[in-house]
């Protein structure tokens, strides 16, 4: 599994992770809140560590991972943030519901990134069981919310570099 061999935050230069003066929306799924709240805490902690002001981090909850696309799109239309981070957790069950939700949210976020003017960072865990989700939400594989925050900062910098 790729996650075991690559942790994003080991590959950055401190200078490229400056969130000062940038505004972030964090859209969090209520479903599997024991996981998503930990992902959110990791994202917020990382944004603050890299200079974002508390007032510049807006956190909004949506019922489930499928609704993350709508939440992100709403922030994009508003035009008041530099990046949107979506955080969710979908754990495989006994029905194909897992496949439909994962496919829908993945395609929705990909479409927003293709058509939008600001980055939407995909932080949806799609795991076979709750143990795998816990490992990625502050467990032995780190906190993917934190990695999403770093990615958001990098993508803002990328977008700004194109405007020069």
Of 14-18, 64-68, 87-91, least confident by mean pLDDT is 14-18
- The pLDDT of residue 93 is 83
What share of the chain in percent tops pLDDT 90? 82
CATH number of the 24-154 domain: 3.40.50.960
Burial 75-110 (b: 16+ CB within 10 A, else e): bbeeeebbbbbbbbbbbeeeeeebeebbeebeebbe
Per-residue pLDDT of 32-71, as tens digits, reads 999 999 999 999 999 999 999 999 999 999 999 999 999 9
- The pLDDT of residue 96 is 85
Query: How far apart (Å, rounded) are the C-alpha atoms in residues 148 and 143?
Result: 9
Q: How many CB atoms lie within 10 A of CB 16?
A: 12
Query: Active site residue: 6, 12, 50, 97, which one?
Result: 97
Helix 33-49 crosses helix 144-162 at what angle (to 10 degrees)?
A: 50
Residue of 96, 43, 40, 103 whose CA lies nearest to 69 = 103
Residue 51 and residue 16 in contact, taking contact as beta carbons nearer than 8 Å: no
The yes-or-no answer on residue 9 being catalytic is no
Per-residue pLDDT of 108-131, as tens digits, reads 999 999 998 999 999 999 999 999
């Amino acid at each position: 599994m790729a996650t075991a061999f690559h942790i994003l935050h080991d590959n950055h230069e401190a200078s490229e992770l400056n969130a000062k003066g940038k505004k972030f929306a964090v859209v969090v799924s209520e479903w599997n809140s024991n996981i998503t709240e930990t992902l959110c805490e990791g994202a917020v902690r990382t944004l603050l560590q890299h200079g974002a002001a508390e007032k510049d981090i807006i956190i909004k909850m949506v019922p489930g991972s499928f609704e993350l696309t709508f939440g992100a799109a709403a922030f994009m239309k508003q035009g008041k943030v530099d990046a949107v981070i979506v955080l969710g957790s979908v754990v495989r069950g006994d029905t194909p519901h897992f496949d439909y939700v994962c496919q829908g949210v993945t395609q929705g976020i990909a479409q927003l990134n293709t058509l939008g003017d600001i980055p939407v960072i995909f932080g949806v865990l799609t795991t076979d069981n709750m143990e795998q989700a816990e490992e990625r939400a502050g467990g032995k594989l780190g906190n993917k919310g934190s990695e999403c925050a770093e990615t958001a900062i990098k993508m803002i910098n990328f977008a700004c570099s194109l405007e020069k």
